[in-house]
């Protein structure tokens, strides 16, 4: 089966709030799922993607430390995390909540045990952005979004702005306003507008 870039599920879809099922069989279906996840991750220029974000309620995730093409992509099934003690606050975003950002406190280091797509045991020790991406995607497998962990008052939209040095500005928002915007986006995607 050829790889396919899939649509990313947008905040408000019930699947994003469900706990994903463990993967028990390591067959071509799992290989195809990972191929699609990697292609989608690259196309969306993301750091991580969990299977529920492309409509599959399975404990599968892909992550990388940077969106550069040469950056290795980790593929993990049924991950279990051990967290370090030091906490770091960083502004996060999510492909399922496009252009929304917020400050989230997470451990700076994690140790992840899981399985490869072939069913072999793997351990990944991570710091910095890779650790954050692993935690963020692991949350998706448990039905948790970064907005559940966001620091109060820190939610912002990333808005293109040619006058800004980075090419965008941040406009404050609330979760209610954001959810209304995502509801409209989902409606437009379904052709109901």
Catalytic annotation, residues: 137
Q: Bridge partners of 97?
A: 94
Contact yes or no for 92/146 (Cβ under 8 A): yes
How far, rounded to the nearest angstrom, does the alpha carbon of residue 137 sit from its chain's CA centroid?
5
Under 8 Å between Cβ of 75 and 124: no
* Paired strand residues for 90: 104
Helices marked H in 93-171:
128-141
Based on its alpha-carbon atoms, the radius of gyration of the chain, rounded to whole angstroms, reads 17
């Amino acid at each position: 089966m050829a790889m396919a870039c899939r649509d990313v599920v947008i905040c408000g879809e019930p699947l994003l709030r469900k706990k994903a099922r463990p993967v028990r069989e390591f067959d071509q279906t799992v290989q195809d799922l990972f191929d699609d996840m990697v292609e989608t991750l690259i196309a969306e220029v993301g750091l991580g993607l969990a299977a529920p974000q492309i409509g599959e309620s399975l404990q599968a995730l892909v992550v990388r430390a940077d969106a550069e093409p040469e950056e290795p992509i980790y593929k993990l099934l049924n991950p279990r995390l051990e967290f370090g003690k030091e906490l770091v606050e960083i502004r996060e975003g999510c492909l399922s909540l496009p252009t929304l950002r917020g400050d989230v406190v997470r451990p700076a280091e994690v140790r992840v045990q899981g399985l490869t797509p072939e069913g072999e045991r793997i351990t990944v020790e991570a710091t910095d952005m890779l650790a954050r991406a692993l935690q963020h995607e692991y949350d998706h497998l448990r039905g948790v979004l970064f907005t559940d962990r966001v620091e109060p008052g820190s939610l912002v939209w990333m808005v293109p702005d040619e006058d800004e040095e980075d090419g965008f500005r941040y406009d404050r928002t609330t979760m209610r306003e954001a959810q209304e915007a995502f509801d409209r986006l989902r409606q437009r995607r379904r052709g109901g507008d």
